[in-house]
Amino acid sequence: MNGAKQKPLLRALAGERLDKPPWWLMRQAGRFLPEYRALRTRAPDFVDFCLNPELAAEATLQPVRRFGMDAAIVFADILLVPMALGQKLSFGEDGPQLEAIADRGAVERLRKDGIASRLEPVCETIRRCRAASPEQTALIGFAGAPWTVATYMVEGGGSRDFLRVKSWAYRDPEGFQALIDLLIEATIAYLGIQIAAGAEALQLFDSWAGVLPEAGFARWVIEPTRRITSALRARFPEVPVIGFPRGAGLLYERYAAESGVTAIGLDTVVPLDFARDRLQTRLPVQGNLDPVLLVSGGAALEGAVNAIRTALAKGPFVFNLGHGVVPQTPLENVAALARLLAEPL
């Protein structure tokens, strides 16, 4: 067994059951941390911050320093890929804004070369984090999955009904496929340079997987993920990929069977019995505490954490939230969670 494999996160992702589950939290580097808010004042523009390796590496490591998670996840954003493809990107009060693209012509005008060099600052962040991480802390790289990134590129930001992106996919599936194909290639390239820089595991965030009916889910969620995992496995067979098809609901099982991911992230509403009986029998699972419990704390938090561990810690398992940490999360509740997870069940 080599040294890297002895990190608890990597052992769990390799299929090992651990007495004390490794843990990290989606959005663990973020606004609920006072030290993060202080750091952000040094680069108020969010894209600048992400592309500043000194600041991004510091943000990546802050939560691990405070709470001792088993993994750090590189501080970046899923929309850096569209930016690297030449789409204008900014972050305002209402979240991200992009100049929406609407047709195949716009896809063809995107920049297909030089993506790696434009995303090089993220790799530098990864190198710095690897150099400065505690020995047992694994470093996770990530990207948005093509469908989710495409929703932002086509809607021009967040959306409630996904009218533009779905309309395009329904009306002109071949044209939309051109965008997805481009994102598949860019994502493979991006994750490849993250691994080369030192990422030891990857997560693919498909935050909007849950808005597609089954046929679209198969074509725009599962198939792009399968192509990405297959290309990465050929080049980097030892690097696990956690797929997170948030909201996939009744399609979680099909995703687990067909997408080629190494492990699967469970959102907040995946029932624990189902996760244990239908997913964990196939691959390691990660999740799935409701982030609101980390805000409210107390007995409900403790009960839910124990229920998750009782159901899932008998197999390969990484403790996490089912969605990102929210800014209103009290620090003491995260500290209480860390203590809970350190206790035997």
- The catalytic position among 11, 118, 152, 276 is 152
Residue 184, both tokens = 């598949």
In this structure, the number of other CB atoms found within 10 A of the CB of residue 273 comes to 9
- The answer to whether 227 is a known catalytic residue is no
CB within 8 Å of 257: residues ≥ 6 apart: 282
290 part of the interface to its own copies, by CB under 8 A: yes
Stretch 174-213: interaction string toward its own copies, x if CB under 8 A: ------------------------------------xxxx
Residue from the set 190, 205, 252, 319 that interacts with its own copies by CB under 8 A: 252
Beta bridge partners of 286: 265, 318
Cβ distance to its own copies smaller for residue 307 or 342: 307
Residue span binding its own copies (CB under 8 A) among the ranges 17-25, 38-46, 138-146, 268-276: 268-276
Smaller CB separation from its own copies, 106 or 292: 292
Alpha carbon distance 57, 127 (integer Å): 9
Question: Which of residues 270, 283, 325, 341 is near its own copies by CB under 8 A?
Answer: 270
Q: Is 300 in the site for its own copies (CB under 8 A)?
A: yes
Cα 67 to Cα 63: distance, rounded to the nearest angstrom:
6
Cα dihedral 80/90/209/126 (nearest 10): 30
Longest CA span, the chain: 57
> Using CB under 8 A, which residues numbered 217 to 246 contact its own copies?
217
CA distances from 116 to 98, 130, 150, 182, 197 (A): 20, 19, 19, 14, 12
Give me the catalytic one of 17, 27, 104, 233. 27
Structural contact between residues 115 and 85, judged by C-beta atoms closer than 8 angstroms: yes
Residue 77 known to be catalytic: yes
- The answer to whether residue 66 is catalytic is no
Residues in contact with its own copies by the rule CB under 8 A: 161-163, 166-167, 170-171, 173, 210-215, 217, 247-252, 268-272, 274, 288, 290-293, 295-296, 298, 300-301, 304, 307, 322, 326, 328
Query: Known catalytic residues?
Result: 27, 31, 40, 77, 152
